[in-house]
A and B are shown apart, each in its own frame.
Chain A
Amino acid sequence: MSAAIQDSKGMEYLDSRLRRWVTVYIPVLCFLFVLLFPFYWMIMTSFKPDEELVSKAANPFWIVRPTLAHFEKLLFHTEYPEWMWNTILVSTVATFTSLAASVFAAYSIERLRYKGSKQVGLAIFLAYLVPPSILFIPLAAIVFQLGLFDTRWALILTYPTFLIPFCTWLLMGYFRTIPYELEECALIDGATRWQVLTKIILPLAVPGLISAGIFAFTVSWNEFIYALTFISSSEVKTVPVGVITELVEGDVYHWGSLMAGALLGSLPVAVLYSFFVEYYVSGMTGAVKE
């Protein structure tokens, strides 16, 4: 602790140790406790046998006899693995499609500067502000008309509506930081626009692409209202919708397997996030800062 205080810079040397504890460390610890407790609770519940779950005498914060029964039920007696596969498939395809479309869109708005590109840029930003909960009813009608109802295509085609505006907006900001001179040199040397894009801009924009990709992937993994509305058969459901609609049966809640399902469904995005924290944060804050 003393090392941390010695490290502190500026005016903070005036803070006494006690004061720093009261004004900084204790509030931070409270925040962490509240923010992390639901996850602790999720983990505890998913390894707890049923009789401990419903016992009021036992200490609920600990497990006496941990069990894998809930996971076993989830993986072998429900369609959970299929929901997982659907979520992976839909999120991956939607992310890559959106990323590809966004690269072209962002490059043309930011660098080709065709007639009307400014207005298109603004329209993209406004599209980002359209929330899915005002679109799902007409989209359901369209999905139905196109014969895509209850298929993975319904999700793969509709997820880009919130992914493309975000990715394009983020990549526009990223392309702006790449010096124009690099591109000019290549053009003077006789490169085509396509070569400029693939050989100069894209390699330089890799961090931006990763940011946009990670963010898009987690957002489509978490999507709920479209997946709930456009899908009715269990075998094409995604994890969030499957857990909510299929695992909750009647009045008896199987809390153990519900929590196990929530835990397993959160794990992939949490792991992915932990590897790319910096990219994720820069994507999230970058989109807000512009």
Chain B
Amino acid sequence: MNRWLENRNVLGPLFMLPAGVLLLVFLTYPLGLGTWLGFTDAKIGRPGEWIGAENFTFLFGDSVARLSLFNTFFYTIVASVLKFALGLWLALLLNKNLPFKAFLRAIVLLPFIVPTALSAIAFWWMYDSQFSVISWTLSKLGFIHSYIDFLGEPWLARLSTIAANVWRGVPFVAITLLAGLQTVSPSLYEAASLDGATDWQKFWYVTLPMLTPIIAVVMTFSVLFTFTDFQLIYVLTRGGPLNATHLMATLSFQRAIPGGALGEGAALATAMVPFLLAAILFSYFGLQRRAWQQGGTDK
């Protein structure tokens, strides 16, 4: 018995070694280094010196950085709400004994599978100011007279990028919520019908409470990855027009890599961390409360 105990405490860490080393060197260390860089004036090719919170005070006074904070919140909130509403709707639809169910589910997930950078090019082309197929259709139908410059006007560009983000995110939300829906026991719906519940009541009092834990997790992931989104914006607008679509991630890339100001970029990236932590804690405590409410018998 003693030998086994010793064995597992030796073998365990030994088995952890490859994963542990890779994660420590390329994840934990950079996480710390990034925070440290945020407090230095490092440039590309020049190690930085400690300058305290200067980067942060500079960024706070920088109108572009403040705009990027606003854009990030706007982008995250609008896109997440839409992804949740449309995703839940699609999940409920797919849960209704449709013909070709498996095939439909496979097709629906396609936007999530293909590389975002590449599908973003398709959106770029669809949003083109001169040859947009959307403008073509609308003008043939007589709704508009001149072509829409989807990515040229600040607010239009914000909404267009959000639309592309929602397009990519809805399948993920829908398919994971569908998996959650399929675990809800049919007997609950039977009981509700016997009690004379309407469809809406069944949804509100059975489906939604049973789904809450999975909704919390899915939406945390969704919010996290929308908040830190980079590639969609980089491909569609590079932050333009007039920095109207710059997110904190794209601005931090622009300042640090082409701009060379590693310290400033790192400070911007570090500034995202508190928001991410808040989102994670929010959903964590949301989940806890749920498990307690259901007496821990939700499985």
Instruction: Give chain A's interface residues, CB within 8 Å of chain B.
Output: 3-4, 7-12, 24-25, 27-28, 31-32, 34-36, 38-39, 41-42, 45, 53-54, 56, 60-61, 100-102, 104-105, 107-109, 112-115, 117, 120, 124, 127, 129-142, 157-158, 160-161, 164-165, 168, 193, 218, 221-222, 224-225, 228-229, 239-241, 243-244, 253, 255, 258-259, 261-262, 265-266, 269-270, 273-274, 277, 280-281, 284-285, 288-289
Please report the C-alpha to C-alpha distance between residue A131 and residue B30 in the assembled complex, in whole angstroms.
Answer: 12
Contact A24 B93 (CB under 8 A): yes
Task: Point out the residues of chain A lying under 8 angstroms from B31, CB to CB.
Answer: 130, 134-135, 138
A-B contact pairs, 18 of them (CB 8 A): A31-B86, A34-B167, A35-B107, A38-B119, A101-B18, A104-B17, A130-B31, A133-B229, A134-B270, A134-B272, A136-B269, A142-B25, A222-B117, A224-B234, A241-B117, A243-B121, A274-B106, A289-B180
Closest 6 CB pairs of A and B: A114-B12, A108-B15, A240-B117, A131-B228, A138-B30, A105-B19
Asked whether B37 is an interface residue with its Cβ less than 8 Å from the other chain, the reply is: yes
Asked whether B191 is an interface residue with its Cβ less than 8 Å from the other chain, the reply is: no
Count residues on chain B whose CB falls below 8 Å from chain A CBs: 99
Say which residue of B136, B224, B262 sits within 8 Å of A131 (CB atoms): B224
Contact B19 A262 (CB under 8 A): no
Q: Which of B28-58 contact A (CB under 8 A)?
A: 29-31, 33-34, 37, 42
> If A104-B16, A104-B19, A288-B217 touch, does A38 touch B122 (CB 8 Å cutoff)?
yes
Asked whether B276 is an interface residue with its Cβ less than 8 Å from the other chain, the reply is: yes
Contact A10 B214 (CB under 8 A): no
Task: Point out the residues of chain B lying under 8 angstroms from A289, CB to CB.
Answer: 179-180, 214, 217
Say which residue of A28, A35, A41, A132 sits within 8 Å of B111 (CB atoms): A35
Contact A32 B265 (CB under 8 A): no
Contact A130 B27 (CB under 8 A): yes
Asked whether B141 is an interface residue with its Cβ less than 8 Å from the other chain, the reply is: no
Q: SS class of chain A's interface: helix, strand, loop or mixed?
A: helix
Task: Point out the residues of chain B lying under 8 angstroms from A240, CB to CB.
Answer: 115-118, 231
Contact B105 A140 (CB under 8 A): no
B37 to chain A, nearest CB (A): 6
Contact B26 A142 (CB under 8 A): yes
Please report the C-alpha to C-alpha distance between residue A18 and residue B19 in the assembled complex, in whole angstroms.
Answer: 56
Q: Which of B80-118 contact A (CB under 8 A)?
A: 86, 89-90, 93-94, 96-99, 102, 104-111, 113-118
Task: Point out the residues of chain A lying under 8 angstroms from B262, CB to CB.
Answer: 137, 140-141
Contact A138 B33 (CB under 8 A): yes
Measured CB to CB, the nearest residue on chain A to B229 is A133
Residue interface bits B229-249, CB-to-A below 8 A is 1, else 0:
111001100000000000001
B2 to chain A, nearest CB (A): 15
Contact A35 B171 (CB under 8 A): yes
Task: Point out the residues of chain A lying under 8 angstroms from B15, CB to CB.
Answer: 104-105, 107-108, 112
Contact A129 B224 (CB under 8 A): yes
Instruction: Give chain B's interface residues, CB within 8 Å of chain A.
Output: 7-9, 11-20, 22-23, 25-27, 29-31, 33-34, 37, 42, 86, 89-90, 93-94, 96-99, 102, 104-111, 113-119, 121-123, 125-126, 128, 130-131, 133, 136, 167, 170-172, 175-176, 179-180, 186, 189-190, 193, 214, 217-218, 221, 224-225, 227-231, 234-235, 249, 252-253, 256-257, 262, 265-266, 269-270, 272-273, 276, 280
Task: Point out the residues of chain B lying under 8 angstroms from A141, CB to CB.
Answer: 33, 37, 42, 262
A78 to chain B, nearest CB (A): 15
Task: Point out the residues of chain B lying under 8 angstroms from A8, CB to CB.
Answer: 96-97
Say which residue of A32, A54, A274 sits within 8 Å of B108 (CB atoms): A32
Say which residue of A27, A265, A281 sits within 8 Å of B179 (CB atoms): A281
Contact A273 B119 (CB under 8 A): no
Task: Point out the residues of chain A lying under 8 angstroms from B249, CB to CB.
Answer: 133-134, 225
Contact A24 B23 (CB under 8 A): no
Task: Point out the residues of chain B lying under 8 angstroms from A3, CB to CB.
Answer: 99
A273 to chain B, nearest CB (A): 5
Task: Point out the residues of chain A lying under 8 angstroms from B7, CB to CB.
Answer: 193
Task: Point out the residues of chain B lying under 8 angstroms from A11, CB to CB.
Answer: 189, 193
Measured CB to CB, the nearest residue on chain A to B10 is A114
Contact A101 B22 (CB under 8 A): yes
Say which residue of A54, A134, A142 sits within 8 Å of B228 (CB atoms): A134
